Amino acid sequence: MIPPDTHLQIGSLLFEGLDQIDLTGPFEVLSRVPNSTYRVYAPGPEPVRDVRGLRMLPDATLAEAPRLDVLHVPGGTGQEALMRDPAVLGWIRGQAAGAGHVLSVCTGALILGAAGLLVGRRATTYWNAVHLLPFFGAEPVDARVVIDRDADGRTWVFAAGVTAGIDGALQLAAALRGEEAARTIQLGIQYAPEPPFDSGTPHTASPDTVARVRAAAADITARREATARAIATELGIRIP
């Protein structure tokens, strides 16, 4: 827990083709962290559209961001374009080096991997991409939220697909300001999910449902694997 009189700079990465809930789910939590400033940063000042077409506007550009105490990296199909973007990856490396806490949601973990930040870490990501984590030197964990800590105290929070970002952000809020602060935020946003179907993971969904979702994502999954294999070679990570 960070002393309550220490002001926190919290920043989220915004990019074309992200999944907006990867961003806005944690936003609902992190923007309510006491004594903090939350802002959204993008490579440029122009609006972007999420994977379903929702138009979003950054607060500022990456170059205008201060040193962040908390860095949040969302995912979505637009993640693939960032895997080879040296400016964005360099910004992530620099901010992660100074931040005490890093949160990734969904395939945001793959962006961290492309930046070389997953080597030796326990991590998770979207269920249809979790098999790619070893390409970045990470140990995949089948969990909704995975927390990994550096020897120097930096906390890495990895949330699985999309809605898991709220869970990860609440755990992060507890690490920042204490469990009671996180409980207060949870009640404030009335986060008490009761999904109508037990189909939210490949373990609980029917085989037919899993097959349909895999088939719909086959192209992006293949592209992600090709990129991951190339990055593994560059990082010197041997994959069978």
Q: Examine the residue annotation and report whether 183 is marked as an active-site residue of this protein.
A: no
Annotated catalytic residue, options 106, 109, 145, 162: 106
Q: What is the largest CA-CA distance in the chain?
A: 52
Residues in CB range of 186: below 8 A, 6 or more apart: 29, 170
Map tokens 């070893």 to a residue.
Answer: 134
Q: Which residues face 101 on adjacent strands? A: 70, 155
Please tell me the distance from the alpha carbon of residue 89 to that of residue 94, in angstroms, as a whole number: 9
* Ordered DSSP codes for 108-160: HHHHHHHTT--TT-EE---TTTGGGGGGGT-EE--SSEEEEE-TTS-EEEEE-
Please tell me the distance from the alpha carbon of residue 237 to that of residue 240, in angstroms, as a whole number: 10
The DSSP call for residue 50 is -
Please tell me the distance from the alpha carbon of residue 206 to that of residue 160, in angstroms, as a whole number: 19
Please tell me the distance from the alpha carbon of residue 36 to that of residue 8, in angstroms, as a whole number: 4
Catalytic residues, which ones?
106
